[in-house]
Structure formats: structure tokens, C-alpha cells
Chain A
Amino acid sequence: LAKTTQPISMDSYEGQEVNITCSHNNIATNDYITWYQQFPSQGPRFIIQGYKTKVTNEVASLFIPADRKSSTLSLPRVSLSDTAVYYCLVGGDNAGNMLTFGGGTRLMVKP
């Protein structure tokens, strides 16, 4: 079972780019990397998913090196509303591969 390691917390300021790195040294061949965002009193919300190289959508970018042992979520020009907990998940190959939420990274965006 792939385990993920993320920083417990990060601080940033409005308008800055934020990069959150997740380590997953024992990622399996069929595992995907998925990031979620969670605000207080709400369920997590999907941000982005990738397998290798780089994925970009309207919210974020996901960078995955060739060895896939880590990944970096990049949030461009954060605002106060981006203050949340960000989770990195590895797995989800639809073969009973459990999806495990780790402790997440608590991002605090300051004015």
C-alpha cells in the first residue's frame, strides 16, 4: 500500500505561487496520483489527477518526475480563499487498491 508524506503546514501570501510536494516512494505501476482540497465543515474536493509528467487544469498544475516517487501540486497566484487542507492520494486503479488520505497539508494564505 503506497504511503504518502506531505508537509503538515505551509504559509503563503496572496498572489504568490504555492508548491506542495508529496513523497510516495513505494508507488506501484498502476497507481495514479490525485490531489484533493478540503475546507472546514465540507467534504474534500477533487483538484487534479495525473500519472506522469505534467498535468494542468484551470485550478492547478501537477508535476510528476520520471521515477514517480514524488509529485508537486502547484497553485498559481493563491488568494485567501485557497486556505484549506490539501491531500495527496496514491492508488485508485480500480482493483481494490484502497485510496488513502494522509494527514494532508494545511495551507494558510495571508493577506
Chain B
Amino acid sequence: DAGVIQSPRHEVTEMGQEVTLRCKPISGHNSLFWYRQTMMRGLELLIYFNNNVPIDDSGMPEDRFSAKMPNASFSTLKIQPSEPRDSAVYFCASSFTSGRVYEQYFGPGTRLTVT
């Protein structure tokens, strides 16, 4: 298995532009997580999907952020409009969940820089 796949690996954009991050979870996993990591705030959970349904999005910073999971093999995290404070590494992770969340497998991350 190729593991969790994220694209792009690096993204540099200007303030005000729309940014779309993509994630392909591991086949057979039924949960997907989006995290954001910065030096100041550490690793933060943004949103958690279970069976393609958003379970809790209380970690999403504000309305500029949105996430979708149209099917079991694809998810997107969109920022519109982007701001410099959104600069961070964004990780996608997937796991199999049944009664509890088992080990999460993280992707390589997308390093986003907003200028």
C-alpha cells in the first residue's frame, strides 16, 4: 500500500487566493483526519470524518476553511481566501475506526506558504 497520499507537497500562494489541499486515504480505512501544524500552535485537529461524514469540525479555524469527503478515497481541504497566518504544514491521516480510533497513518504533509 502506498500509504496516505497528499498533494501538493508544497504550495506557495498569495494572500486572497484559493488553496485546495488533497488527500487520498489508505484503502479500507473508514476515518479521515485533517491536522495543521505550526511552531506556535503545535499539531491541531481541524476536522474528523467517519464513513465520509464529518463528525466534528469544531477545530476548523473559521468559515474560510472547508473540507469535503465525496467518497471513501478522496478528501479536500479548501481555504478561501487564504491569509498569511494560514501558513503551516497540513497533514491528512486515516485510520480504521470501530468502537475506538485505532492507529492513524499520516501522510507526508503539505507545506503551505501564504505571502
What is A's interface to B at a CB cutoff of 8 Å? 30, 32, 34, 36, 38, 41-46, 49, 87, 91-94, 96, 98-104
Chain B residues touching A, range: 20 to 34
Interface of A is mostly: loop
A43 touches B93 (CB 8 A): yes
* A42: chain B residues within 8 A (beta carbon): 106, 108-109
B100 touches A44 (CB 8 A): no
* B99: chain A residues within 8 A (beta carbon): 93-94
* A36: chain B residues within 8 A (beta carbon): 104
A43 to B33, CA, bound (A): 12
B50 touches A94 (CB 8 A): yes
With most chain A CB atoms within 10 A of its CB, the pick from B4, B55, B107 is: B55
B56 touches A43 (CB 8 A): no
Given contacts A49-B102, A49-B103, contact A44 B55 (CB under 8 A): no
